[in-house]
């Protein structure tokens, strides 16, 4: 135990069911078996990429989008695995608003965190459905939560994760209409979240990455097979979370982690390429990114 290698992984957000595999690997001793002493850190949102790139933490949780941005800025990070095979985020609205397709976005108020990507995404979706993107209305709501936002009546729909906010709505008995992003436009079926590390780690510590990913993979496989027990493990590690939400979310995600992929974590080049192109065409990145360097499946399916 004493000479276990110290490893730190920084999360992207509050610990949630996206991270259960990590906690399972920790609690079940999978990391220990690999000789790793892992600490899970919850940092400020949106800082994981920088921290991993700097080497302060060896691993982190990111998104395909942020990895692409990072690489466009020359930040040498690499995605090691897609935690969830398909994008489970989408646009939710209270049922009474009757927003069932991007067509209905016309003259409805979208509440977002103010990123230009949101606007481009929404316009793309509306155009694709033949709606008038000029009738898009956006209010910036920052970090406010979906339920509070909707209750003000100032916002009609917002971008949420089905496996979290969607589940919470179900638990509260709030009826939602939900438009799954990946389903309405293939280009948006990107990987979110992903596990990241730095190029330097792969170059200099390949073995460590291998060991780490092996344990992580076991963790997620366990989640897939035993969602309820996995949920308990997460709750034991993070007791602050809402019990019901975690259990229900875990059940929901059990099928989503691997989904239709050959094995858990697999990332396809076309998915990376597609979204990178879209970002490029919409002017979010100045140059095209070599996506083959942005991800690797090398450490999966061990």
Partner 1 sequence: MKKFINTGKLSLPISFAVLIIAWESLVYVLKTPDYLIPAPSAVLQALIESFPVLMRHTAVTLLEVILGFITALILSVVMSLLMVRIKVLYQILWPYMIISQTVPLYILAPLFMIWFGFGILPKVLIVVLVCFFPITVGFVQGLTSTEPELDELLQVMRATPSQILWKVRVPQAMPQFFSGLKIAAAYSVTGAVLSEWVGAQEGLGIFLTRSMKTFKTAALFADVLIIIVLSLLLFYIISHLEKKVIRRRSLL
Residues that bind partner 1 (CB under 8 A): 8, 10, 13-16, 39-44, 46-47, 49-51, 53-54, 56-57, 66, 69-70, 72-75, 111, 113-116, 139-145, 147-149, 151-152, 154, 168, 172, 238-242, 245-246, 284
Tokens found for residue 6:
């110290």
176-194 in b/e burial notation, b at 16+ Cβ within 10 A?
A: bbbbbbbebbebbbbbbbb
**Alpha-carbon dihedral 16, 47, 196, 267, rounded to 10 degrees:** 70
| ω into 41 cis (within 30 of 0) | no
* Choice between 57 and 266, CB closer to partner 1: 57
Residue 39 or 269 having the CB closest to partner 1:
39
Smallest distance from the beta carbon of 215 to partner 1, in angstroms? 19
Smallest gap from residue 141 Cβ to partner 1 (A): 4
Give min distance, CB of 93 to partner 1, in A: 17
Of residues 100 and 152, the one with the C-beta less far from partner 1: 152
Closer of 167 and 208 to partner 1 (Cβ): 167
CA angle 271, 283, 188 (to 5 degrees): 30
Tokens representing 50 are: 């920088």
Rounded-to-integer distance, Cα 165 and Cα 168, Å:
5
**Quick one: tokens of 147?**
């339920």
Paired residues of 295 in beta bridges: 79
Q: Classify residue 78 as left (phi > 0), alpha (psi -120 to 50) or beta.
A: beta
β-bridge partners, 91: 159, 179
Closer CB to partner 1, residue 1 or residue 44?
44
**Closest to partner 1 by CB, 294 or 300:** 294
56 vs 100 by CB, closer to partner 1? 56
Per-residue tokens: 93: 């609205």
CB of 75 to partner 1, least distance (A): 5
Distance CA 301, CA 267 (A): 12
Question: Considering the complex, what minimum distance in angstroms separates the CB of residue 46 from partner 1?
Answer: 6
Burial 60-70 (b: 16+ CB within 10 A, else e): bbbbbbbbbbb
Closest CA to 247 of 20, 11, 12, 14: 20
Q: How far is the CB of 2 from partner 1 (least distance, A)?
A: 19
Rounded least distance, CB 263 to partner 1, Å? 30
- Give whichever of 38 and 266 is closer to partner 1, judged by the CB atom: 38
Least distance from partner 1 to the Cβ atom of residue 153, Å: 10
Phi, psi dihedrals of residue 282, rounded to the nearest 5°: -90, 5
């Amino acid at each position: 135990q004493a000479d276990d290698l110290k490893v730190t992984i920084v999360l992207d957000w509050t610990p949630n069911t996206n991270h259960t595999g990590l906690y399972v690997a920790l609690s079940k001793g999978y990391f220990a078996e690999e000789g790793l002493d892992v600490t899970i850190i919850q940092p400020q949102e949106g800082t994981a990429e920088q921290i991993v790139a700097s080497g302060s933490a060896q691993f982190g949780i990111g998104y395909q989008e942020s990895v692409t941005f990072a690489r466009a800025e020359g930040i040498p990070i690499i995605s090691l695995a897609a935690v969830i095979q398909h994008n489970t985020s989408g646009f939710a609205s209270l049922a009474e608003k009757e927003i069932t397709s991007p067509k209905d976005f016309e003259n409805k108020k979208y509440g977002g965190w103010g990123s230009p990507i949101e606007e481009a995404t929404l316009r793309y979706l509306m155009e694709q459905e033949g709606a008038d993107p000029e009738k898009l209305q956006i209010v910036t709501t920052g970090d406010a939560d979906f339920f509070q936002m909707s209750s003000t009546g100032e916002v009609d729909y917002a971008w949420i994760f089905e496996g979290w906010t969607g589940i919470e709505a179900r638990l509260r008995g709030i009826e939602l209409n939900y438009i799954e992003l990946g389903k309405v436009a293939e280009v948006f079926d990107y990987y979110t979240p992903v596990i990241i590390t730095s190029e330097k780690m792969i170059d200099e510590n390949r073995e460590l990455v291998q060991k780490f990913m092996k344990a992580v993979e076991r963790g997620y496989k366990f989640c897939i097979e035993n969602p309820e027990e996995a949920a308990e493990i997460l709750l034991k590690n993070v007791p602050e979370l809402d019990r019901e939400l975690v259990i229900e979310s875990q059940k929901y995600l059990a099928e989503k982690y691997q989904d239709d992929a050959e094995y858990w974590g697999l990332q396809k080049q076309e998915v990376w390429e597609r979204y990178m192109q879209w970002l490029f065409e919409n002017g979010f990145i100045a140059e095209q990114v070599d996506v083959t360097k942005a991800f690797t499946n090398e450490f999966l399916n061990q």
